[in-house]
Structure 1
Amino acid sequence: MAVNRRGILLGGAGLAALFAVGACGKVEDRQDSGTGGPWSFVDDRKREATAKSTPTNIVAQISAAAALWDLGIKPVGVFGEANGPDDLYGNVDLDAVTWVGKSWGEFDMEKFLDLRPHLLVAPMNTPDQLWYVPEEMADKVAKRCPTVGIKQLSTPVDKVIQRYADLAASLGADLDGPAIADARKAFTAAVDELRAVAEERKDLKVAFVSAAEEFFYWANPDVFSDALLLRDAGINLVQPDVSDEQDRNGAAVSGERSASKNRKLR
């Protein structure tokens, strides 16, 4: 089940990328930062990441790296799923970055430290937990550099993109450049097109799923960022019954039950 939930989460992170710290106080053994004067950023844990100068050596979870890359901030290191869908990587030049972890639970501290990191950035799909940073290593990472977590679940994808834009701006990105302006315009046009389809096809019902061999993982639209955007645009997303599930992210449905539900939706 965890793998299939991650499959949906990876898809949502990839969509955000395409469209677009430990607690405060003294931290021992941190690397010196990059350029300019003092830097700070309050992340979605409401924690302030600080550095003596603007970070330049950035290590990011791959979907966060893709979002930052399109905003003009290019991490030197990445971690996450090395064998994920191509959309997950956005425009990241995979030959120009160092992988410090290539799968769930993998994070090579030695490679991480070799990059002399000034900042680590990751999405959050669990409150206060940096995605793909193993829990047992989170404190060690935070002692080496500030960390920033961007909330991904239960937040519409346009709001997620804006948070990455806020972070990129703090790191020196020019958000008024033509490439970003064109991307913003294309994104707005795509959302407007969705709204038009939703208005024209009010009878259309859409299920947000991740498929496996024997079952579908039927996602809860209240949780996933891209699903929330679709629903905000007026798309009628099917709401699974998660009352008996251990978590509210969605429900596992067998192929037979899924087909039965699909017939009822027509």
Structure 2
Amino acid sequence: MKLQLGKWKQHLLLSQNPLTAKSIPRTALYSMTDLKDFISRFDYAYVKHDTTGQGRAIYKVYKQEDGRYCYNGYSIQGEPISKCVKVLTDFHQTLHPFERMGRMGNYIIQEGIQSFTPQGLPVSVRVHIQLLKGKWLIGGMNANIGTEGNLENGILNSHRGSAIITVNELLSSHWQMGESERHQLIRRIETLATSAAKVIAKQIPSREYGIDLGLNAELKPIIFEVNNTPGIGGFAKLENKSIWRRIVEIRKLQNEE
């Protein structure tokens, strides 16, 4: 049985490598003190459950000009939530409804990274990286792009209505990049994802990882999250199935080792 790779654990590991340490959001364990600090320093912050996936238990939190605190995202059950409150303790109660019973879930706080297309749509990149015969291979990459419905919280997950496209399509259609420029950026993404996989593998070994990254205003790749049990359903949604087939073929070769 694989060890579960929590978000806080991966932050600690990625902080130890010079390249990955420069390419992760500022992160802290959840506390009211740190949440207030993050909201005061950044346009918004994300509060995430340490171990959930598929967009569950993630909230975008920010302070409005009228002094109210607003948060929107999805509960741990996956239900959409959008609310504004006068005091942050009301948000805390949303996270920890069973606090009096001693059932406290673990959360982290992350700096909100502005990862948007020139058209203003939230975007992330998934790199599926696989270990075969001692070498890390890029099994495939895709881009997860939001719609109008994702604008409020910026949470990208195909389970939450975002669309999957190829990275080449993302960069050529939305950034109008030529082939050479696309190739350079993709190489930077691949290098960062490979470094992240190597760092995580030292403590949480796996034959494959799914690395989710954003692209900030300067098109610098920023690591959002590393998954050591990545699914490949997103790649199956691409019209061109060659990327999905490559990942499956590498998996077959891994099983033969």
Say whether the fold is shared (TM-score over 0.5): no
Structure index of larger Rg: 1
TM (normalized to structure 1)? 0.24
